Structure 1
Amino acid sequence: MSVTIRPAGTGDVRAVAELVEEMDRFYGEAEVQPLDERLSQVAQALFGSPPLACALLVEDEDGDLVGLASYAFLWPAAGSTHSLFLKELYVRDAFRHQGIGARLMSELRALAAARPGCTRIEWMTGRDNPGARAFYRSLGFVEFDEKIVYRIEVP
């Protein structure tokens, strides 16, 4: 199967919002945000001033969205450099195990390498997500145990 990987554009907001709902359900969310709220938040996150994130989208031969990688650049990383932080890598179930995730990771590496001062790519996955962990190991990535993630909900 042939797919195209490209940056998200303003015309992609609805398709990305629909994929976000699918991702939430995949990760076990019981309540899904209403579509109008998702549309607004996707538009603001990707195309607001300033944008909060960037996204690479994967389209199949019919132009349907089948995956995405959302990321942002964070500072500081090592010293005064910055890193590309991958927040989400998602490929629809029917398109997994076809090399799409590996292609997305390769594209992210190229984006990071092309950006002056970017010294690394970082991301997280859940300890209870053996599929993701096996995928990253298959690409030769090593897990690090030295960080603890904290989270607090903001009202």
Structure 2
Amino acid sequence: MITYRLATAPDATQIVSLLGEIMHHHGVAPPAPLHLEATVSTILGSQDHLILVAETTGRLVGMCALLFSQSTWSASPVCELQDVLVTRSSRRADIGRGLIEAAEQIAYARGCTRLFLLAEYWNLDAHAFYRSLGLAEKTCLYFERDLRRPLL
């Protein structure tokens, strides 16, 4: 049986392991485990950034992060889902669906009028999964600047 709940401090090590799996999937070298664990601990202490986990028999098999903000566009709270993932060995068991549904309930309870997420353009399995849940595909371009380098 899968339990969906908000993460707590004792979950940090398992969350770091889950994040390592998604970073590997995306071809990204994870930061040092201690640095990543400190980041997770900071998030776990935040009111505006939550981590939702899927657990079975004491083991985390999925997670997603919820980032809450106030939208100037819609003049209402919104929720961005980040790092939606289920371990490879636990996929195709509706765990992802359970995470998204639990995240929607949390966002709705906090007064959010919109829930959104980003998916890599090449991650076609994720696109199909999100569509199957009724999430509407929006088209936009994503721009970023690495602020670890000197600014222009």
Same fold (TM over 0.5): yes
Aligned residue in 2 for 1:53: 49
What is the count of residue pairs matched by the alignment?
148
Point out where structure 2 has 5 or more consecutive residues left out of the alignment.
none
Q: C-alpha separation between the residues in 2 aligned to 1:52 and 1:38?
A: 19
**1:137-148 equivalences in 2 (<5 Å):** 137-145=131-139, 147-148=140-141
CA 1:51–1:115 in 2, change beyond 3 Å: closer, same or farther? closer
Q: C-alpha separation between the residues in 1 aligned to 2:97 and 2:30?
A: 28
Q: C-alpha separation between the residues in 1 aligned to 2:17 and 2:73?
A: 36
Q: C-alpha separation between the residues in 2 aligned to 1:65 and 1:33?
A: 20
CA contact (8 A) 1:53 1:71 kept: yes
Q: How far did residue 46 of structure 1 move? A: 2.3
Do residues 125 (structure 1) and 123 (structure 2) align?
no
Q: RMSD in angstroms over aligned alpha carbons?
A: 1.5
Aligned residue in 2 for 1:152: 145
Do residues 32 (structure 1) and 25 (structure 2) align?
no
2:142 partner amino acid = V
**1:3-152 equivalences in 2 (<5 Å):** 3-29=2-28, 31-47=29-45, 50=46, 53-60=49-56, 62-76=57-71, 78-116=73-111, 118-145=112-139, 147-152=140-145
SS in 2 for 1:137: helix
TM-score, structure 2 as length reference: 0.90
Q: How far did residue 78 of structure 1 move? A: 4.5
2:34 partner amino acid = D
Q: C-alpha separation between the residues in 2 aligned to 1:127 and 1:41?
A: 26
Higher RCO (CA < 8 A, seq sep 6+): 2
1:124 partner amino acid = L
Q: How far did residue 28 of structure 1 move? A: 1.0
Q: How far did residue 80 of structure 1 move? A: 1.6
Q: C-alpha separation between the residues in 2 aligned to 1:57 and 1:51?
A: 16
Deviations 1:67-101 (A, max 9, x none): 10101112115432011110121000111111111
CA contact (8 A) 1:7 1:57 kept: yes
The structure 1 segments of at least 4 consecutive aligned residues displaced by more than 2 Å after TM superposition are none
